[in-house]
Amino acid sequence: MNVLSLESLLDQSWAILQNLRSAKTSERTITLATVDPRGQPQVCMVVLRSIERDNNMLEFHTDADSLKCASLAKEPKAQILIWRPNVSVQLRISVEIDLYSDDKSRKLWAKVPGPSQISYGKSPPTGHLISAPFDYKNMGSIDKFAVAECAIRKIDFLSLEHTHHRAQFLQIDDWAGQWVSP
């Protein structure tokens, strides 16, 4: 049996993120959990837009009118869930999210493909009740394009392959890692 090291599990976590980032857009989804202003957990899919291991950052894009933006303005802590069935690994990544819609996001906007630009900004705004399914307009609005920078605080790695094993890596421990009973 291979001897497992914490270091190799951390590397594997980042390799999973890298592979995900390199996949085509429809397969690049991650599950994001936030807590809304009423204290209700909210879970949704978002597309992983970029990763930076040096800074321990992940990025996704969203509509500034979305509930998740209001939620993150009040509670910036969130969790990202990833399951990779090909390697039987679950990653639960605890993050703190900084949202910005400013000059920096405006520079990124130029790189967003046209069909994706259309989805930012709706009239009435996303989440508002409408009287028929298509009673809304896509605004393609740069002002509603929000970039979410996710600073990683913790990675919980669970492998269900052969023998089960689990480890947690914390930023405050400089990612040294600890084994956890699965």
Binding site for ligand FMN (CB under 6 A): 29, 42, 44-47, 60-63, 66-68, 126-127
The nearer residue to ligand FMN, 126 or 159, going by C-beta atoms, is 126
The nearer residue to ligand FMN, 49 or 153, going by C-beta atoms, is 49
CA 178, chain centre distance (Å) = 23
CA atoms of 156 and 178, how far apart (whole Å): 10
CA atoms of 78 and 152, how far apart (whole Å): 10
The minimum distance between CB 49 and ligand FMN, in angstroms, equals 7
The minimum distance between CB 65 and ligand FMN, in angstroms, equals 8
The minimum distance between CB 127 and ligand FMN, in angstroms, equals 5
Check if the beta carbon of residue 136 is closer than 8 Å to that of residue 121: no
| Residue among 98, 117, 97 nearest 109 (CA) | 117
CA atoms of 115 and 26, how far apart (whole Å): 14
The nearer residue to ligand FMN, 4 or 142, going by C-beta atoms, is 142
The minimum distance between CB 20 and ligand FMN, in angstroms, equals 13
Which residues are paired to 50 by β-bridges? Answer: 59
The minimum distance between CB 13 and ligand FMN, in angstroms, equals 21
The nearer residue to ligand FMN, 26 or 181, going by C-beta atoms, is 26
The nearer residue to ligand FMN, 65 or 156, going by C-beta atoms, is 65
Beta strands in the chain (DSSP E): 29-35, 41-47, 50-52, 57-63, 77-84, 89-100, 122-123, 137-138, 145-159, 165-170, 178-180
